[in-house]
């Protein structure tokens, strides 16, 4: 069956979605959450709770079923930040709701509608394409994270001042990406248990392929998170070791000065009866004693491996 895509007025799209008349794809990009929820509820006829969940920024990606609608949410990276996309799937419509335009989704829908490949124009097939685009959008993000981890690994011994800040920002990016892909993996897994009347059996192998991609992305993020943790630990160990070396040198220098100060302090006391005060060689002798004591300590620390 060859697809024929055309733009229809919004009023006709609303009627078709409510009545199930023909295949309709509707993208909604909202700025006012209350008005968007009202539109979904009053004009498209979706359930109250689903309409509220679709515009809520704090909803965890999940899958919900009603008699009429299959509702799911997915986090799609846009400029390396996750954007929640709500999807309403009915027997004859696919409605996409997001707080801002999501280029991977928009490009996928446009490409699917323009494609000359004769595939059945049904919502589950387009749902597969949308989910595939949402998951594949994580691969460039994972590649950038991997490159940044490699760059930090090269800098671990150089002690850059912003090393820790860059590492923590990267770790935050990994955690954010994983929070987006892990629930999406659960959503895809739940789709396999949906009634075949909503997700046909011929679509499920393609969804399985998308699910496998989520596993791969999750593994990539986990590997990079572990590598980054090891790099940060190595950097902190190097910093701690350098600090210990510095403190050791300062301790040795303080010991030298303390020994010399001890001799100077003894002969700096203002007692009247001190035989050495009348000794002509007292001053050179005191200096010689200081040098001898410092030299003995230097040899001792040298043998201990402190230098």
pLDDT 10s digits, 134-180: 999 999 999 999 998 888 887 776 656 677 788 888 889 999 899 88
Structure token pair of residue 80 = 């390396």
Q: For position 161, what pLDDT does the model report?
A: 60
- Which residue, 221, 145, 239, is CA-closest to 185? 221
Among 8-12, 208-212, 291-295, the range scoring the smallest mean pLDDT is 8-12
Whether residue 107 is predicted with pLDDT greater than 80 in this model: the reply is yes
According to the model, what pLDDT value does residue 45 have? 86
Which two three-digit tokens encode residue 98? 């997001």
pLDDT for the residue 180: 87
Q: What mean pLDDT comes out for the span 289-297?
A: 85
pTM of the model: 0.75
Span between the terminal Cα atoms of the chain, in Å = 82
List pLDDT tens digits, range 122-140: 788 888 889 999 999 999 9
115 near 193, Cβ under 8 Å? no
Other beta carbons less than 10 A from residue 76's beta carbon: 24
Residue 73: phi and psi, rounded to 5, are -130, 145
Evaluate if residue 118 carries a pLDDT over 50. Answer: no
Domains of the chain, CATH where assigned? 1-115 (3.30.460.20), 248-303 (1.20.58.340)
Mean local confidence (pLDDT), 2-10? 64
From the CA atom positions of the chain, what is the Rg in Å? 35
Mean pLDDT of the chain: 83
């Amino acid at each position: 069956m060859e697809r024929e895509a055309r733009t229809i007025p919004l009023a006709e799209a609303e009627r078709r979605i409510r009545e199930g008349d023909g295949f309709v794809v509707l993208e909604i990009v909202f700025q006012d959450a209350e008005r968007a929820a009202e539109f979904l509820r009053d004009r498209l006829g979706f359930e109250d709770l689903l309409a509220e969940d679709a515009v809520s920024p704090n909803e965890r990606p999940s899958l919900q079923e009603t008699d009429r609608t299959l509702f799911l949410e997915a986090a799609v990276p846009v400029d390396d930040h996750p954007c929640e996309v709500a999807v309403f799937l009915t027997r004859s419509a696919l409605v996409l709701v997001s707080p801002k335009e999501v280029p991977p989704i928009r490009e996928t829908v446009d490409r699917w509608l323009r494609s000359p490949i004769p595939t059945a124009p049904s919502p589950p097939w387009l749902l597969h394409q949308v989910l595939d685009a949402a998951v594949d959008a994580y691969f460039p993000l994972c590649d950038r994270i991997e490159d940044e981890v490699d760059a930090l690994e090269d800098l671990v011994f150089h002690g850059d001042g912003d090393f820790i800040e860059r590492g923590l920002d990267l770790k935050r990016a990994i955690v954010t990406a994983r929070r987006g892909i892990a629930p999406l993996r659960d959503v895809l897994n739940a789709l396999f248990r949906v009634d075949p009347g909503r997700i046909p059996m011929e679509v499920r192998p393609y969804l399985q392929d998308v699910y496998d991609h989520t596993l791969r992305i999750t593994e990539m993020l986990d590997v990079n998170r572990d590598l980054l943790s090891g790099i940060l630990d190595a950097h902190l160990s190097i910093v701690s070791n350098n600090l210990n070396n510095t403190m050791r040198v300062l301790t040795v220098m303080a010991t030298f000065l303390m020994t010399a100060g001890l001799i100077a302090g003894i002969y700096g006391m203002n007692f009247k009866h001190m035989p050495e005060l009348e000794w002509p060689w007292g001053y050179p002798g005191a200096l010689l004693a200081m040098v001898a004591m410092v030299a003995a300590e230097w040899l001792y620390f040298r043998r201990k491996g402190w230098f």
